[in-house]
Amino acid sequence: MSQLQTRIEELFALPISELPIQEANALFSELKGLLNSGQIRSAQPDNDGGWQVNAWVKRGILLGFRAGQLADASTGGFSFFDKENLPMRSLAIQNNVRLVPGGSAIRDGAYVAPGVICMPPMYINIGAYVDEGSMVDSHALVGTCAQIGRRVHLSAAAQIGGVLEPVGANPVIIEDDVLVGGNCGVYEGTIVRRRAVLAAGVVLTASSRVYDIPNQRILSSAETGTLEIPEGAVVIAGSRPIRDEWAQEQGLSLSTPIILKYRDDKTDGRTAIESALR
C-alpha cells in the first residue's frame, strides 16, 4: 500500500491540467477496493486511546473527484447524473449486510461490516467505515470518512457529518456501543467515546460548549481543537440564558448540550437494541 500512497500523493500535487486522468482513475479504483474491504481507513484507532488521521486516503478520494467526469447514471426510470467513477457500491448476500428495500444507498468506497442493518432511506458516503452490528436507521446519514464503531445505533434522521477537507482534520468518530438519538447532528470532527448516549435532538459541533453537570466542568474544543464526549456520558439537549440585557428581557436562550449523568444499569436497559431486529 505504500506504493499506492506515494503515487496518490504525487498526483494530488499536480494541477488539474497535468493530471493523468486514466492513471488517477485506476488509483482511485484501487483505493475504493481497499476502503470497501476495510483494509484501509481515513482514520483509525491508535495504541493510546486516540485516533490517527490518514490524510493520504482523503487525498485519494479528492483525487477521484478531480479525475471523474460527469456521466448519465439514470436507472429505474429516474434521472441521475454523477461522476462516472463514483457509482453506488454493489453488495452480495455474502457481505451479510441487511439492506432493507426502500431507497437506501451506499457509495462505492465505504466499508460496511457484516451484521450492519440499513433501514430505508439512509445514505453512507465514500470513505465512511461502519463496523459490525451497527444500525443505520431511516433518514440517517453517515458522511464522508465518518467512522462508526461496533453496535452503534444511529436513530432515525441522525446526521453524522462528513469531513473531507482539510485532509488532516479528524473525521466525525462514533466509538463502540454509542446510541445516537433521533434528529441528532454530530459534525466537524467531534469524537463521541464508547457507550455514550446522545438523546434526541442533540447537536454537537466544533464550537459547542458541553456542560458536564456530574463533574461540574465545561467541555469544548478550545484546548485540543476537537470536541470529545466522554465515555458513558448521557447527553441531552438543554439551554442556557443569553446574558445580553435585551435578550434577557425577551426570555431568549441558546441551545446547549448537557451531560445529565453517566450510564448506569437503567440507561443500559433503555438503550439496548432488540436482538430480534438483527
Give tens-digit pLDDT for 84-131: 999 999 999 999 999 999 999 999 999 999 999 999 999 999 999 999
Whether 48 and 171 map to the same domain: the answer is no
Q: Whole-model pTM?
A: 0.93
Cβ partners under 8 Å of residue 249, min gap 6: none
Contacts of 177 (CB under 8 A, 6+ apart): 149, 150, 151, 152, 194, 195
- Centroid of chain to Cα 174: 7
CATH number, domain at 248? 2.160.10.10
Asked if 31 and 120 sit in the same domain, the reply is no
140, 252: one domain: yes
pLDDT, tens digit, 9 for 90 and up, residues 146-204? 999 999 999 999 999 999 988 989 999 999 999 999 999 999 999 999 999 999 999 99
- The DSSP letter of residue 206 is T
Listed range (22-31, 142-151, 190-199, 258-267) with the worst mean pLDDT:
258-267
Q: What is the chain's mean pLDDT, rounded?
A: 94
- 5, 7, 22 from 67: Cα distances, Å: 17, 14, 8
Instruction: Indicate whether 278 belongs to any domain.
Output: no
DSSP codes of every residue in 82-140: EETT-PBPP--GGG--EE-SSS-EEBTT-EE-TT-EEPSS-EE-TT-EE-TT-EE-TT-
Residues 28 and 152 in one domain: no
Which of 116, 87, 86, 118 is closest to 103 using CA atoms?
A: 118
pLDDT at position 108, please?
A: 97
Residue 77 falls inside a structural domain: no
In terms of domains, do 179 and 223 share one? yes
Do 258 and 122 share a structural domain? yes
Decide if pLDDT at 45 tops 80. Answer: yes
Does residue 25 share a domain with residue 105?
no
pLDDT of residue 95: 96
pLDDT at 151: 97
The reply to whether 247 and 153 lie within a common domain is yes
Is 85 a member of any domain? Answer: no
Query: Domain of 54: which CATH number?
Result: 1.10.166.10
| Cis peptide leading into residue 166 (ω within 30°) | yes
* Average pLDDT of the residues in 216-242: 96
Q: What is the mean predicted confidence (pLDDT) over 43-61?
A: 95
Cell numbers for 133, please give them.
452490528
The per-residue pLDDT for 273 is: 56
Residue 257 resides in a domain: yes
User: Which residues, in sequence order, are CB contacts of 261 under 8 Å at separation 6+?
Assistant: 213, 214, 234, 267
pLDDT of 271 above 80: no
Last residue of a domain, one of 31, 54, 70: 70
Confidence of residue 27 (pLDDT cuts 50, 70, 90): very high
pLDDT band at 269 (very low <50, low <70, confident <90, very high): low
Do 30 and 112 reside in the same domain of the chain?
Answer: no
Round to whole Å and give the CA distance between 170 and 55. Answer: 9
The 8-class DSSP code of residue 271 comes to H
**Residue 107 shares a structural domain with residue 210:** yes
Residue 240 scores a pLDDT above 90: yes
Instruction: Say yes or no: 113 and 228 in one domain.
Output: yes
Q: What is d(CA 31, CA 24) in angstroms, rounded to the nearest whole number?
A: 10
pLDDT at 275: 57
Residue 134 and residue 14 share a domain: no
Range of the domain at 267: 95-273
Consecutive H or E run containing 53 = strand 51-53
Instruction: Confirm whether 6 is domain-assigned.
Output: yes
How many separate domains does the chain show? 2
108 in a structural domain: yes
216 part of a folded domain: yes
Q: Is residue 40 part of a domain?
A: yes
Q: Report the Cα–Cα distance between both ends of the chain, in Å, rounded.
A: 35
Q: In the structure, what pLDDT confidence band is assigned to residue 46 with cuts at 50, 70 and 90?
A: very high
